[in-house]
Amino acid sequence: MLKEFREFELRGNVVDLAIGVIIGAAFNKIVDSIVSDIIMPIIGAITGGLDFSNYYIALSSAIIGHPAYADAKKAGAALGFGQFLTITVNFIIVAMILFFIVRAINMLKKSEAAVPAPPAPPSESETLLKEIRDLLAAKAA
């Protein structure tokens, strides 16, 4: 059983999947930074300097005033729709990037498939049959 597990673990697909997960986690950090540090501040500036990460609806009477979202969560229940909006933008960006990557790969595959392969050289038996045909045609003539 241990041998089977080792064979499964060392298959190319499993290793490729592990590498993909690690790269995906790093890519997620990059996208989070792009959204929270670049895109959302621009959207906030367009909408009057508002910080979307602090948009919430207080669901508890223990939340007095309008503290930051993190403080409001500590004080009681708060519905943080600003965080949801930021994560939704993250998802849309990741989905668009993956769409363009898959689209580019599919275009490359189509262009490779469009190039015809050079004809294979005749096999040894085909060459011998052609020689026999030529000899029989020469005798008949």
pLDDT averaged per 10 residues, the chain (length 141): 75 76 86 81 77 78 80 82 82 84 86 75 89 90 77
To the question of pTM greater than 0.85 for the whole model, the response is no
Domain count, the chain: 1
Distance CA 1, CA 104 (A): 41
Domain assignment of residue 47, given as a range: 2-140
Task: Please give, one letter per residue, the 3-state secondary structure of 2-52.
Answer: HHHHHHHHCCHHHHHHHHHHHHHHHHHHHHHHHHHHHHHHHHHHHCCCCCH
What pLDDT sits at residue 61?
79
What pLDDT sits at residue 133?
92
What pLDDT sits at residue 51?
65
What pLDDT sits at residue 50?
66
Q: What is the CATH number of the domain that holds 123?
A: 1.10.1200.120
| DSSP 3-state of 123 | coil
Which element (helix H / strand E) includes 70? helix 69-75
Distance CA 34, CA 28 (A): 10
Contact 86, 35 (CB under 8 A): yes
